[in-house]
Chains A and B, each alone.
Chain A
Amino acid sequence: MWRALLHRTISLVAALAVASVVIFVMLQAVPGDPAAFMLGLNAQPDTVAALRAELGLEGSLPARYLDWIGGMLTGDFGTSYTYRVPVAELVADRIGVSAPLALYALGLTLLVAIPAGLLAASRRGGVADWGVMGATQLGLAVPNFWFAMLLVLVFAVSLGWVSAGGFPGWSDPVAAIGALTLPAIALALPQASILARVLRSALLDTLDADYIRTARAKGLSRRATVLRHALRNAAIPVLTILGLQFSFLLAGAIIIENVFFLPGLGRLIFQGITQRDLVVVQSVTMLLVFAVIAVTFAVELAYTLADPRLRRR
């Protein structure tokens, strides 16, 4: 088990290294002169030169890369060109919106998907199964940003229950959670649909397994068989999907934060693009990729624990 853990850790670090190189090359090497790129076509040569100095573009590419990575590792993410504040500060600020939003959406996803998947699998071919399959089929087809617009139309415009966008800050937790509720629902809809379907099919697959027949033959009821034998084996594919969903959740958040004007990481990176603030884009992208890789790592660890065959004695 420790060897497997070491192996996974090494590949985690390698993936991060390669990802950082890809991001760096795309943003620093491909555009030619990043300073000129950031300032646009009409920039004065001396402004460009000043920015080059400010960004430390004098050094060679490898030196600049190491500089950037060294900074990332010590918490120095550079200084935003447009906001004139350290990127780390911006990130710290914005993460207070994005992380709760992602967790809120994940919570809703699990809350809906697990009972729905269990219900559909245990009533295979029945009315409940058809209902869950039909609803999730629709949930998969609805773009989350459009769903968000419909939610705004109904709950903010027609009913006036919540505000249509913006974020009041955490000084008023009730209002803050209220502001995150519609975005979280919009984010959770497609994710819950996927997860419910995966859970259903994973359960049905394990219910066909020989050991399920063994359990039935020794006197377990259908219900006990599902709960004691099928669920834990079905957890392995479900965990894998859950890990992948984190990546979709982040991508979805970038869009949803824009629909609701939430000051999160997604909106930060998006503003960075429109303002050509490469420092912000580069560091925030790296952070997002780090988050995805770290979650994948955690998921692999989780199912190593769930499956004794992967645990080496």
Chain B
Amino acid sequence: MTALLENEGPRPHGGGSELSDPATDRDALLAFDRLSLAIHGTTILHDVSLALFAGRVTGLVGESGSGKSMTALAAIGLLPDGAATSGAIRMDGRDLVALRERDWLGIRGNDVAMIFQEPMTALNPVHTIGAQVAETLRLRGASRAEAMRIARDRLDRVGLSRIPLDRYPHELSGGQRQRVCIALAIARRPRLLIADEPTTALDVTTQAEILALLRGLVDDEGMALLLITHDLGVVAGIADRVAVMNNGRIVEADTTEALFRHHRDPYTRDLLAASRVPARARRKVPPDPVLAARDVVRTYGAHRAVDGVSFTLHRGESLGLVGESGCGKSTLTRALLGLEPVQGGAIELMGRPGGTAMTRGERAKVSVVFQDPYGSFDPRWTVRRIVAEPFHLTGRPRDADARLAATLERVGLGAGDLDKYPHEFSGGQRQRIAIARALVTEPEVLVLDEAVSALDVRVRAQVLALLDDLQTRLGLAYLFIGHDLSVVRAIADRVIVMQAGRFVEEGPVADVFTAPESDYTRTLIAAAPAIPDAWVKETS
């Protein structure tokens, strides 16, 4: 590891002041120098060294729990209570680690600013956006008029020129709120902006806009940007340099293209491989409809959440359904599962009326896997009881225990796991339990509702492989609902693109991705963060 850092990373050579950017040969704006961190005795970071440069975007990539967020919080002095640090964070010849809270007040917002993942909760709901952007300016002595003028200017800069200053956060969309967060972070023109998963909670098209905005700010204002993300596609598109983090250590760092092309660390290789799941090979599925919708309409009052959609899913086929939040895909899912009535059209399951008209036996033929591996199980139930719950539809079979064990083994777990509780499993294992629960009644159709969206990339790749294998062995039909195009591409034979309650495009996956017909699909594909093919082919 050390050898790697010496070769690849911006290693400090006897002190932070000598750090330099190989590309521009300028001094680092801020440098982590062998920073280690423990919280209540648990080590979170080991010897993290990383330099950030003005006018440059540094991507810090890692899976959940890798320590990337703590690295960021250390650079702005907002570590949680009980944090003990060693090493240094150097900026302007000072060691930030040694600063007292009072000294930090002069740095936060002024030299270093930060934006966070969740724009929906990051703004104070009871103050106007103008007041929140202007607040620190006012506190630093600017007159009210001057502070408001700057706030207006900053909001214009982040693309909110049409939004009045007296709006409250709840009146804005998620993307707009993230822009406000950026505006208040840059209100005093800090030299370093830290962005912690700034686009993870946003739709792809919004994500692309926010990333472009951040890149523009770095280029125009000469800021340094530390971009923290789990998504290699995001850093590939925006970062100048990338550092990969695992278990509190930086395992590899280099300029972006070089890192993608010539990485050496096995962890980086695994991460990259898992991030680029190969598209599914074109295959022929004989027509044999199991689930179909004809002109389905679902309204809530005057709002048509699902507005006349039709599709047919065949036995053994995988159908992807892609759309951004609010497009109606979740509503459609609930209707297909028979949880909510439809106001128009019809749903058919194996030639008989589906949706709410399904009998108990028919309901057992359609099951579902949800997104959240933590909310999917009653925390007080054992795996045995959880996986057996769908037997409620069929009556508990005589050989229930044997079938439970067999189902668990089918998803890669063991019969020994039956008497454990959900909290004893990792996120990926939980998703396997959810799949086991869906399979236990031997269904024809599996609805996979964002089933891999909450998983880290390496676990995601494993679960996708499991799903692929199960389909081959059991002849299941999948309705795969997702927002991530690269994932849908990996699992689906055909894909439907949904927008505002309607299907705007449908076709074989390869065709839709290579030659999209609708503008909306083209926008989605263009917005999806991707690693350039050329960067990856050399290593494979």
Contact = CB atoms under 8 A, between A and B. Distances in A.
Contact, chains A and B (beta carbon distance below 8 A): yes
Interface of A: 209-211, 213-222, 224, 228-229, 232-233, 306-309, 313
Contacts of A229: 124, 127
A229 B121 CA distance: 13
B126 A214 contact: no
B209 interface: no
Contacts of A209: 121
Interface in B112-128: 113-114, 116, 118, 121-127
Contacts of A222: 101
Given A217-B78, A218-B184, A220-B136, A211 B109 contact: no
Contact of A218 (B101, B109, B125, B171): B109
Contacts of B109: 217-219
B377 interface: no
A133 B224 CA distance: 46
A219 B110 contact: yes
Given A209-B121, A210-B116, A217 B126 contact: no
Interface string B127-151: 1000000011001000000000000
B126 A307 contact: yes
Nearest to A313: B171
A275 B122 CA distance: 61
B170 A309 contact: yes
Given A217-B108, A217-B114, A309-B168, A233 B135 contact: no
A249 B106 CA distance: 47
Contacts of A220: 105, 135-136, 139
A211 B187 contact: no
Main secondary structure, interface of B, reads loop
A290 B345 CA distance: 52
Contacts of A306: 126
Given A219-B110, A229-B124, A307-B126, A214 B118 contact: no
Given A218-B108, A218-B184, A309 B125 contact: yes
B476 interface: no
Interface string B168-192: 1011000000000100110110000
A313 B168 CA distance: 11
Given A216-B108, A219-B109, A308-B168, A211 B124 contact: yes
A61 B125 CA distance: 51
A210 B118 contact: yes
Sort A-B residue pairs by CB-CB distance and give the 10 closest, nearest first: A219-B109, A210-B121, A219-B108, A218-B109, A211-B124, A308-B168, A217-B114, A210-B122, A309-B170, A214-B122
A308 B135 contact: no
Interface of B: 76, 78, 101, 105-110, 113-114, 116, 118, 121-127, 135-136, 139, 168, 170-171, 181, 184-185, 187-188
Given A209-B121, A214-B184, A217-B78, 6 more contacts: A210-B121, A218-B109, A220-B105, A220-B136, A220-B139, A313-B171
Contacts of B187: 218
B115 to A, nearest CB: 8
Contacts of A313: 171
B229 to A, nearest CB: 18
Nearest to A209: B121
A240 to B, nearest CB: 16
Contacts of B185: 217-218
A228 B136 CA distance: 11
Nearest to B168: A308
Nearest to B181: A214
B125 A214 contact: no
A222 B109 CA distance: 14
A75 B81 CA distance: 61
Nearest to B110: A219
A224 B101 CA distance: 13
B196 to A, nearest CB: 10
Given A214-B181, A216-B78, A218-B136, A233 B124 contact: yes
A219 B136 contact: yes
A307 B125 contact: yes
Most chain B beta carbons < 10 A, residue from A210, A214, A219, A220: A219
Nearest to B180: A214
Contacts of B110: 219
A213 B76 CA distance: 11
B125 A308 contact: yes
A232 B107 CA distance: 26
A79 B123 CA distance: 58
Nearest to A218: B109
A214 B117 CA distance: 11
B122 A211 contact: yes
22 contacts: A211-B122, A211-B123, A211-B125, A213-B116, A214-B116, A214-B123, A214-B124, A215-B124, A215-B135, A217-B78, A217-B114, A218-B108, A218-B113, A219-B105, A219-B108, A219-B109, A219-B110, A220-B136, A220-B139, A221-B105, A232-B126, A308-B170
A221 B185 CA distance: 16
B123 to A, nearest CB: 6
A286 to B, nearest CB: 37
A217 B76 contact: yes
Contacts of A218: 108-109, 113, 135-136, 184-185, 187
Contacts of A233: 124-126
Contacts of B116: 210, 213-214, 217
